[in-house]
């Protein structure tokens, strides 16, 4: 199965999901990566030392297999005007070599996908979570009426690799180091051409490489030799929760309004109409929504995503993500969508899961 594709197959009269393996899976497994399933994708959980990998994320240079994200290529004469009218950010204002974060919403203002947009002279690249890719493409294609727009896979299978941390940029060519956020350029690393985007999965300094899948291991090894440390999802998720980056399918989705999330950087307040814009404008004008995403500091035992959050025995929200905050000594932490009236920092809540009850305290970002 090609990298970046989720599928199913028929076995014994039932349909079973096929676990997606990233383009780097075999190479990283041979190098000591411990893999674990993550919502249908087999990803490196750690490389033997999650605490050390976290330290590279926040103080050094960390290398992350982003095999859970894929590219969708938009082409055609109307690609700019069409995407500008669909996505939440200003696509028409971007020139080739520039980019931005964006969301695709439903007409009700709920989140279909979060994206990184990169504009090329003849195409627009949409970087999206593989588990949201089908919904993204289906929603956009349903709205292509007379527009000259085509959405397709890259012509060459492509792997995405993140280089994160304050020392990350020093490992890349000088022309990449000078790029502003979300800008991108093609550079050669150890003889491997890659498009490098100035972006981060955890709100830090960093870059994301779009590299031919067949040559991804060569680029990975070159960056390791240059000083980057392989980093697994355990450390990345800990940092993501610490800084408050919501993830599609966990903290946001078809049941979540964009206004409930810390995603204002992905929404333009100066452009005209886009899908869901009326809901966003109305909610912004009123200055409130019923729920909001908050970080929680937890006692043991750590609950599971989906567990109800309670105050005085009454449900006031749901846990969406759970991780270990390595910056807090490994303390369990969570993200939760809760009612606004209980969202102030310091509020004491409980999380119920079966017969177990865990104490939780609302905190502020960053946790560490």
State how far the Cα of 55 lies from the Cα of 231, in Å rounded to an integer: 10
State how far the Cα of 192 lies from the Cα of 126, in Å rounded to an integer: 22
212 and 101, same domain (yes or no): yes
In a domain, 96, yes or no: yes
Distance between start and end Cα atoms, the chain: 39
* Maximal CA-CA distance, the chain: 61
102 and 232, same domain (yes or no): yes
179 and 319, same domain (yes or no): no
State how far the Cα of 41 lies from the Cα of 228, in Å rounded to an integer: 24
| CATH assignment at residue 36 | 3.30.1360.120
List the chain pLDDT tens, one digit each, 368 residues.
345 555 444 445 554 457 999 999 999 999 999 999 999 999 999 999 999 999 999 999 999 999 999 999 999 999 999 999 999 999 999 999 999 999 999 999 999 999 999 999 999 999 999 999 999 999 999 999 999 999 999 999 999 999 999 999 999 999 999 999 999 999 999 999 999 999 999 999 999 999 999 999 999 999 999 999 999 999 999 999 999 999 999 999 999 999 999 999 999 988 889 999 999 998 877 777 899 999 999 999 999 999 999 999 999 999 999 999 999 999 999 999 999 999 999 999 999 999 899 999 999 999 99
Domain end call among 288, 319, 335 = 288
333 and 277, same domain (yes or no): no
136 and 220, same domain (yes or no): yes
> The pTM is what?
0.94
In a domain, 12, yes or no: no
Domain end call among 250, 273, 288 = 288
Q: Find out whether 168 and 205 touch, Cβ atoms under 8 Å.
A: yes
What's residue 283's pLDDT? 85
In a domain, 83, yes or no: yes
In a domain, 60, yes or no: yes
What's residue 13's pLDDT? 53
30 and 112, same domain (yes or no): yes
Instruction: Work out how many domains the chain is built from and give that number.
Output: 2
| CATH assignment at residue 368 | 2.40.30.110
189 and 46, same domain (yes or no): yes
Q: Which range marks the domain in which residue 335 is found? A: 290-368
The dihedral through the CA atoms of 297, 303, 304, 308 has a sign that is negative
Of 99, 91, 87, nearest to 136 by C-alpha is 87
What's residue 17's pLDDT? 59
What's residue 286's pLDDT? 77
State how far the Cα of 156 lies from the Cα of 90, in Å rounded to an integer: 28
In a domain, 136, yes or no: yes
In a domain, 242, yes or no: yes
283 and 184, same domain (yes or no): yes
226 and 83, same domain (yes or no): yes
270 and 307, same domain (yes or no): no
108 and 218, same domain (yes or no): yes
Domain end call among 288, 318, 341 = 288
283 and 300, same domain (yes or no): no
What's residue 344's pLDDT? 97
Q: Where are the alpha helices (DSSP H) in 60-192?
A: 79-86, 130-141, 174-177
What's residue 4's pLDDT? 53
């Amino acid at each position: 199965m090609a990298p970046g594709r989720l599928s199913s197959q028929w076995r014994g009269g039932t349909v079973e999901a096929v676990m997606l393996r990233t383009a780097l899976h075999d190479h990283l497994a041979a190098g000591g990566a411990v893999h674990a399933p993550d919502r249908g994708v087999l990803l490196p959980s750690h490389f033997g030392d999650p605490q050390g990998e976290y330290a590279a994320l926040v103080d050094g240079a960390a290398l992350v297999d982003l095999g859970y994200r894929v590219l969708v290529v938009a082409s055609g004469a109307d690609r700019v005007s069409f995407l500008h009218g669909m996505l939440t950010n200003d696509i028409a204002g971007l020139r080739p070599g520039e980019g931005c974060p964006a969301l695709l919403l439903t007409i009700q203002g709920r989140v279909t996908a979060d994206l990184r947009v990169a504009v090329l002279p003849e195409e627009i690249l949409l970087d999206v979570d593989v588990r949201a890719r089908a919904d993204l493409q289906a929603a956009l294609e349903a709205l292509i009426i007379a527009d000259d727009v085509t959405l397709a896979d890259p012509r060459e299978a492509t792997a995405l690799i993140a280089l994160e941390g304050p020392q990350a940029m020093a490992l890349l060519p000088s022309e990449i180091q000078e790029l502003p956020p979300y800008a991108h350029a093609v550079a050669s690393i150890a003889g491997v051409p890659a498009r490098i985007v100035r972006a981060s999965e955890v709100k830090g300094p960093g870059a994301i490489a779009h590299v031919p899948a067949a040559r991804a291991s060569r680029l990975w090894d070159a960056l390791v030799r240059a000083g980057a440390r392989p980093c697994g999802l355990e450390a990345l998720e800990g940092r993501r929760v610490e800084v408050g980056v919501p993830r599609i399918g966990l903290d946001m989705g078809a049941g979540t309004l964009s206004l409930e999330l810390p995603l204002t950087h992905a929404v333009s307040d100066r452009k005209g109409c886009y899908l869901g814009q009326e809901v966003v404008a109305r909610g912004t004008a009123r200055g409130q929504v019923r729920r909001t995403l908050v970080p929680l500091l937890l006692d043991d035992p750590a609950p599971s995503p989906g567990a109800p959050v309670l105050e005085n025995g009454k449900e006031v929200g749901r846990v969406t993500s759970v991780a270990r905050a390595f910056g807090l000594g490994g303390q369990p932490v969570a993200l939760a969508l809760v009612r606004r009236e209980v969202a102030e920092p310091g509020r004491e809540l409980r999380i119920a899961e079966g017969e177990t009850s865990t104490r939780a305290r609302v905190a502020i970002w960053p946790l560490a």
